Structure 1
């Protein structure tokens, strides 16, 4: 590729972006919540839409979930929106009747591929919550070109004790037109269920794996990963190494978790595990009416596997697998492989040339200053830390030359748990940060053609403070800070083409009061805030803040700090932080 073509590509992209920036703005990304309401309220943006009327395909309507059986549905592509789709959006609405019910895991599937993953809001005796979720499925367009079977799975128990009945509806919206972002050419689920389901990973040796026969002209590849903590791992972020579990009265197994990706048994990448907290977690009043970060609608983590493109194109079957380091019973996992094909080559060849992730075991360093005193009193810290740096490089011989790809990543995990345990009470403070700093590059000859930089940070602070009175009654105050930070930059031939920053944080607190028999008598002091902010280099700006008090929405504001004090987001942006391909503006 010569310099003349480089300049033409840049000029073409500049014109395209200028046109889009000038005309394609979706101004309404708000939720429209009512102050004083006890219904679910979140500050998250909706998926921005292109102009024009979409074609709507209903997946299911007002289906009830009262057992652990799946709810099947049939899908066919929309007749009225043939050809190109500028965007495809999943919309789903859920509710649960007033009464008693656990939070439940919710998933939607099509042809084995996950379309949605999240959990449900818990009801109360007086509140029947309802909520809306959306997911940008534009990258899954090739899956949606053919008629297939799908299913909704929300395992639920309804009986004399657990009375909440869950209802749900879902639809796909297809917006005709062209997108500036090239969508993947192939979508491959890793699960064994042909319609779709998650896989339980009980320990670090367990894996979600699929042996795939792939096209022979792959030039880029990515893996979307979900790893959801369940069972004994639900509160993994508060667990301690087995040696300290008895003294601290905590779950064992440690609190380091990380998703490992492999190809043909060799390490291929890592995905951080987000510490999602469900609406029944720790203290259910913490999450009424505003749940934790992404609780109702998880965001997948996308792993760049492009250095393996040449290897995956050799015509042999290849195993792609996911496991969870530190899993301790258990994680629910699913993953989807996305591939881009070289349209002008029947055969792409190549290989991985360097992989420094091989041999780097995900084994954290543990430290302790715990001291045991009289009457089983315990005080001190337990620290857990791990930092790994690795580089994976490979090349692929394509129709536009030999493309050399490199993924360089630094992943970090730092956790400190402070305990104060004595006859007067029990206090545990957990401070944790998971971080990722990654750079993906593609090079043709001496030129770095595309570069994609990502920085993630998942801060979590949990303070559980139980105070025991002399009569045996006690109060338990829980304070939680949960954050999600993402900053990404796309570069083309050394020029910053696009950058975006997402910040989402939830702060919540509540106190539970128990009598000497251990029965809950009351709760007080419930309050929370959520702040969601998004900006990109083209002028998109989204900011929504809310606060809650005593289980009701207290304040709600939109656009503060944005131009004109108004949220305005370009339709091709991803303000929720959902993943984009490593070089989405690629012209080949």
Structure 2
């Protein structure tokens, strides 16, 4: 039977009320990257409205060589008003040639997260650089006030780890105009973290919480929580771990492979946020992710939890604890969350209560089964299965200036994972097939009339095939095949009429084989190839398609717009082709 595998950590170092007033946004042309070894992704940038933006530079030319934060000050722009059509964060990062781990990168303002992602690992010959964007229109209330922020990229630079990370970031504010009205953004933003400038909180186990007692305005009519939970340390490869009772037998990390973020209000379950199996650029085999990293690796998307059924409760004037935990956390997850609230402009006091909450009696406890067989020689074959599916309804009402509004959030959240093992004297193979899925409907009613409905389906498939083969001389090969996907469908309805729907699909496939001598030293690698396909379409005719292929660390194929009208990408400026969240009930136009 093989010894525990070589470390996988790294072998080297707005609202829709104006949808029909918008115009199409033609994605900017990109220089043909074929032949490049630099970071190349198929992801879309954030589409922009017409007009010239005001630009606020957050920082420029910073370097990250230690674990100290890099503070900056923020002042709102002048000359673009205070209610913008769109706000976009742009950030550019790079790392010098040499050896360096991937690092977690976050940007903050007033305790609120503006960006969350990781960095690209360099090589001895390639100093990668990359660009990220985030739609921050829903954070406009935060950005109307001056404040303090900081960039956090903890990094070690010494004689061994030589890569110096650099970065710059700015905010672009697009002024409102007749063709691009001011967004119907939340009226207030509240971070859950305790750091007044901003930082993540480590959740070491299932009982750990990111929590804050908030005293909110007394006229909350809608509320949403943007959640990020990022696996770290022993939890980085949580998707390959097995329940503790199997860990020694199959030579894997323990703690199981079910992870899910749980949201609560005053200790009562209030929602669920699925955990995406992000793989960082040093993960499993670093060559897999050069030059194209995994799905969202450099730029995470938050998951938005609809807490509107609790609007009446949150408006009662008392402090309420809003908390996030990670079921299954096993040292540890970095977490941050921001509460976005819409206020009733015509009423000083909203009242209401929760009418139904079936999530209360459904703890996040998966079912475990196995078909493992150990023969007389100690060879192991078989599967370990982990499953959990919960259907729940959370319903509440709020007495608003529009009348008594009943909001029902109905979701089915499912997790299914099968890990197949083949372990003998010359082979260690683990094949993981995991699927997290969410089917969600948020519905608002006044009396018998359904006045707003937002449905969303999410799918996070992950396939990982890892095979270690040992030769007679003790040398060995590690072959890895990875398939990742992020799929999202959203649909907005008003009075049972579909106003808008959109689909996002992001897929990355990559493979590589590493070779080691009998002493465990890396000698070579071969067969590296990868492909990313990104597709977006919506009911207004918006279309975005981009495909990237690479071989041996070099971009070999690049196609943009193929399959769209006139073979050109064209999306509406208010759309979310990157998969970033929007507030479904913004369609109400309140």
- Please give the TM-score of this superposition, normalised by the length of structure 2: 0.96
The answer to whether the Cα contact below 8 Å between 2:214 and 2:320 also exists between their aligned partners in 1 is: yes
Quick check: 1:370 aligned with 2:372? yes
C-alpha spacing 1:123/1:13, structure 2 compared with 1 (3 Å): closer
Q: Could you tell me whether the CA contact under 8 Å between 1:213 and 1:317 is conserved in 2? A: yes
Deviation at 1:32, TM superposition (A): 3.5
Distance 1:179 1:300, change over 3 A: farther
Distance 1:302 1:586 in 2: 18
CA displacement, residues 22-58 of structure 1 (integer Å, 9 cap, x when unaligned) = xx22102565451000000000000000011000000
Is contact 1:437-1:456 (8 Å) kept?
A: yes
1:198-217 correspondence to structure 2 within 5 Å:
198-217=200-219
Q: Which residue of 2 aligns with 1:172?
A: 171
Residue of structure 2 equivalent to 1:45:
44
Counterpart Cα distance in 2 of 1:89 and 1:246: 48
Measure, in 2, the Cα distance between the counterparts of 1:583 and 1:358. Answer: 24
1:116 aligns with 2:115: yes
Comparing 543-552 with 25-34, greater Cα deviation is found at: 25-34
2:138 matches 1:139: yes
CA contact (8 A) 2:83 2:183 kept: no
Q: CA separation in 2, counterparts of 1:13 and 1:362?
A: 34
CA deviations 1:460-492 (Å, max 9, x no partner) are: 000001111111111110000000000000001
Give 1:407-422 correspondences, 5 Å limit. 407-422=409-424
> Partner residue of 2:491?
489
> Which runs of 5 or more residues in structure 1 are unaligned?
1-11
Q: Which residue of 1 aligns with 2:279?
A: 277
Deviation at 1:359, TM superposition (A): 1.5
Q: How does 1:56-95 map to 2 (within 5 A)?
A: 56-95=55-94
Aligned to 2:9: none
* Equivalent in the alignment of 1:9: none
Match of 1:536 in 2: 538
Query: Which stretch shows the higher mean deviation, 25-34 or 447-456?
Result: 25-34
Contact 1:467 1:476 in 2 (8 A): yes
CA 176–223 in structure 1, closer or farther in 2 if over 3 Å, else same: same
Alignment of 1:186-335 (within 5 A): 186-335=188-337
Write the deviation string for residues 187-232 of structure 1: whole angstroms up to 9, x where unpaired.
0000000000000000000000000010000000000000000000
SS of 2:331's equivalent in the other structure is: coil
Distance 1:456 1:65 in 2: 35
SS in 2 for 1:330: strand
Q: Indicate if the aligned counterparts of 1:381 and 1:417 stay in contact, CA closer than 8 A.
A: yes
- Aligned partner of 1:344 among 340, 343, 346: 346
Alpha-carbon displacement from aligned partner over 1:524-547 (angstroms, at most 9, x marks no partner): 000000000000000100000110
Equivalent in the alignment of 1:516: 518
User: Which residue matches 2:8?
Assistant: none
TM-score if structure 1 supplies the norm length? 0.96
Per the alignment, residue 553 of structure 1 pairs with 555
CA offsets 1:276-327 (integer angstroms, 9 cap, x no match): 0000000000000000000000000000000000000000000000000000
**C-alpha separation between the residues in 2 aligned to 1:443 and 1:43?**
40
C-alpha deviation, 1:83, in angstroms? 3.1
Q: Alpha-carbon deviation of 1:82?
A: 1.7
Q: Distance in 2 between matches of 1:297 and 1:18?
A: 30
Unmatched runs of 5 consecutive residues or more in structure 2: 1-14
Identify the match of residue 398 of structure 2 among 396, 399, 416.
396
> CA 1:500 to 1:13, structure 2 compared with 1: closer, same or farther past 3 Å?
closer
- Map 1:493-508 onto structure 2 (within 5 A): 493-508=495-510
Conserved 8 A contact 1:31-1:42: no
Alpha-carbon separation, structure 2, partners of 1:208 and 1:255: 21
Name the SS of the counterpart of 1:585 in structure 2.
helix
Distance of 1:373 and 1:246 partners within structure 2: 16
Please give the alpha-carbon distance, in whole angstroms, between the structure 2 residues aligned to 1:520 and 1:364: 38
**How many Å separate the matches in 1 of 2:166 and 2:336?**
24
